[in-house]
Structure 1
Amino acid sequence: MGATRLVRTLDAHLRTWRPYTIWYPGLVGLAGATLAADPHADARLLAAWFVPTAIWTAAHYLGDYLDRDLDAISKPQRPIPSGRLRPGAALVCGAALAAAACAAALAVNWRTVLLLAIGIGGALAYNGLFKARGIWGNIVRGALTGAAFAFGTMMAVPLPPAELLPFVVVFWAHDAASNLVGTLRDVAGDREGGYATFAVRRGLRTAGRTAAALYGLAVATAAAGAALVPRDRAAYLLVVLLAALIGCGAFRVVLAPGRTLTQHAALRAHEVLVAERLVLADALLVPGLGLPAAIGILLPVLVLTITIQRAMRSGHEFVPEDRAQPAH
C-alpha cells in the first residue's frame, strides 16, 4: 500500500512539472548565455539552463495551487483537485524550487535579483491576477520568457547587451502567442470559472488572429535578428525558417476557415507550438555553439517533448469522458 501511494505521489509531481514543457526555458536561457559571450563549459552555462527551468517548474506548482478552484470545475483529473497532490505540498515545492533558482543565480551574478523578482513575481501575478484579465494575461506570460533570455545573457556578462534586446521581443511575442493559443481549448471552463481570458471576451476567431499576429512579430524579429548574430547567419536563418514553417502548421489549424475549432484541435495546435518553440530557441544556439552542436542539443529534447506530449498531454488537459465538443 505504501509503495502504491509513493508511485501515485511521484506521478502527481511528474504531471505537475509538465515534462513536455520544461526543456524550453532552459534552452532560452542557454541561448542568451551563448550569444552574450564566447561559450565556456562551466557553471555559468549550467546556471543559464538551470535557473529558468527551476523557476518554470516552480511556476507550475504555484500556478496549480492558485488555480486549484478553477481546475476543480474544469479539470478535476489534475493532481491537486483529484487529491493526488496536496495544495500545501505544491506550495512548498514551488517555493523550494524558486529559492534554489535564486541561490544559483545570485551566486553567479547578484545583478540578476531584479529579473528573478520579475520572473517569480510575474508568474504569481499571472495566475493570481492577469490570467483572468484578457490580453494582459498573455502579455505578462510572454514577458516571463523574454526575461529568461535576458537572464541567460547575465550568466555570461554583468548586464544584458543592448544589441541582444530584440531577442527579448522574440521570446515575449512568441510566448504570448503560444499562451493565447493554449487558452483556446479552455474557453468553456474559463467562462464557467469566471476567468475572463481574451478568448472568452473576444471569441476564438479574434483570439486566434491575435495569436497569429504575435507569432508573426516573433518570427519577423528573429529573422531581422540575423544582422545581430556574430557568425553562422545562414545556418541561423535556416533554423528560424524551419521553426516558422512548423508554426504555420499550427496556425492553419487555429485559423481554418468555415470550421468550428474544437478543444482537441486547439490542443493539437498548441502541441505543435510547444515543439516548434524548441526549434526557434535552438536557432539562437547556432551562432554561439555552431550548427552541429545546436542540432545535437535540439534532437533529443524535441523527441522527448513530442513523445511525452503524446503520452501525457491529453489526460492532463481533458477529463477521460471528454469527446472533443466544440469550444464556444
Structure 2
Amino acid sequence: MDLCRPLNAVLAGVLTLIGAYVAGRPLAGAALVAALATVFAVAAGNAINDYFDREIDRINAPERPIPRGAVSPRAALAFSVALFAAAVVLALSLPMVAVAIAAVNLVALVAYTKLFKGLPGAGNAVVAYLGGSTFLFGAAAVGRPLAGAVLALLAALSTLAREVVKDVEDVAGDREEGLNTLPIAVGERPALLVAAGVLALAVLASPLPYVTDLFGVAYLAVVVPADAVMAYAAYLAFSDPTRAQGLLKYGMVLAAAAFVVGRTFA
C-alpha cells in the first residue's frame, strides 16, 4: 500500500469532491465517480513515479517500497497500469470536459518523471497543474467546470511553490541522478526566492472569492490563517526546507477548507 501513498490519493479524491461542492452539486453521483477516479489515478501516478525514480529514491527516500525491497520494480509497474485502467474506466462515464481533463492528467502523470521532472521548473509546473486540476475535475464532473477555476488556480500556485521547496530538499539525489531541477540549475536560494514569490502571488489572490462576492466573511476567517501558515512556510524554507514543505501542505489543506466554509455559508 505504501507504493500508492493512499493518504495522498484519498486526499486528492477529497479535493475533487470539494471542487464539486464549490460548483454546487456535492452529492451528485458524478462527483463521487470523479473522486474515485482521482484516487485511482493519483495512486497510479505515485506507483509509476516510484518505478521510474527507484534509483533516485535509493538516496532521497530509501524507505520507499522499491528501494527497501518490499516490492519489485516490475510488480510496481503492473500495479500502476491496473490502477490507471480503473481510473480510465471511471472517467469515461463523466461529461466530456471532465473526460478531457482526465485524459490530459493521465498523460501528464505518465510523462512526468521521464520527460518533465528533470527540466528546470517544468516538472514543478506539471505537478502544480495536476494539483489544481483536482478541483477543476470535480467541478467539471458535475457540469460546471468554471466554478472550480479560482480554487484550481490558487491550488496550482501553492503546489508550484511547495514543489520547488521539495526540489531544494532533494538536491543531493537529483544531482546524483543527473536531473537538472530548478535549484540545481539556478541555485538553491534563487529557487527559494521563486517559491516565495509564487506563494506571495497566491496569498495576494486568495481574497478574490470574497472581493467578487462569491463567498462571504466566513471564507476570510479561514483563508487568512491559511495565508499566514503559507507565508511563514515561505520564510522557513530558507533555513529548513523539509519542515517548510510540510507546513505548506498543511496550509493548502486549510485553504481548501476555506472554500468549503465559504460555499457553506455563502
Q: TM-score, normalised by structure 1?
A: 0.75
Per the alignment, residue 170 of structure 1 pairs with: 154
8 Å contact kept, 1:185–1:267 = yes
Taking the aligned partners of 2:25 and 2:66, their CA distance within structure 1 comes to: 44
Q: 1:164 and 1:77, CA in 2 relative to 1: closer, same or farther beyond 3 A?
A: closer
**1:198-252: CA deviations, max 9, x gaps?**
0111122111111111112222222212245644x21111211111111122122
Match of 1:22 among 2, 5, 9: 9
Q: Which has the larger radius of gyration?
A: 1
Q: 1:77 and 1:31, CA in 2 relative to 1: closer, same or farther beyond 3 A?
A: closer
Taking the aligned partners of 2:206 and 2:40, their CA distance within structure 1 comes to: 26
Give the aligned CA root-mean-square deviation in angstroms: 2.1
8 Å contact kept, 2:155–2:252 = no
8 Å contact kept, 1:118–1:144 = no
Q: 1:221 and 1:47, CA in 2 relative to 1: closer, same or farther beyond 3 A?
A: farther
Task: Quote how far apart the aligned CAs of 1:253 are.
Answer: 1.3
**1:75-118: CA deviations, max 9, x gaps?**
33321122211112211222222222222222232442221121
Matched, 1:254 2:237: yes
Matched, 1:238 2:213: no
Structure with bigger RCO (C-alpha 8 Å, 6+ apart): 1
Match of 2:61 among 75, 99, 115: 75
Taking the aligned partners of 1:279 and 1:153, their CA distance within structure 2 comes to: 19
Equivalence map 1:226-305=2 (5 Å): 226-228=210-212, 230-231=214-215, 233-255=216-238, 261=239, 265-290=240-265
Taking the aligned partners of 1:220 and 1:110, their CA distance within structure 2 comes to: 33
Per the alignment, residue 197 of structure 2 pairs with: 213
Match of 1:32 among 5, 9, 19: 19
Per the alignment, residue 181 of structure 2 pairs with: 197
Per the alignment, residue 145 of structure 2 pairs with: 160
- Secondary structure at 1:194 match in 2: coil
Amino acid at match of 2:190: T
- Secondary structure at 2:71 match in 1: coil
Taking the aligned partners of 1:234 and 1:48, their CA distance within structure 2 comes to: 30
Amino acid at match of 2:32: L
Amino acid at match of 2:223: V
8 Å contact kept, 1:35–1:229 = no
Taking the aligned partners of 1:229 and 1:57, their CA distance within structure 2 comes to: 36
Unaligned runs of 5+ in 2: none
8 Å contact kept, 1:187–1:200 = yes
Unaligned runs of 5+ in 1: 1-12, 256-260, 292-328
Taking the aligned partners of 2:77 and 2:264, their CA distance within structure 1 comes to: 37
Taking the aligned partners of 2:4 and 2:250, their CA distance within structure 1 comes to: 16
8 Å contact kept, 1:182–1:270 = yes
Q: 1:102 and 1:220, CA in 2 relative to 1: closer, same or farther beyond 3 A?
A: farther
Q: 1:45 and 1:19, CA in 2 relative to 1: closer, same or farther beyond 3 A?
A: same
Per the alignment, residue 314 of structure 1 pairs with: none
Task: Quote how far apart the aligned CAs of 1:166 are.
Answer: 3.0
Identical residues among aligned pairs (%): 31
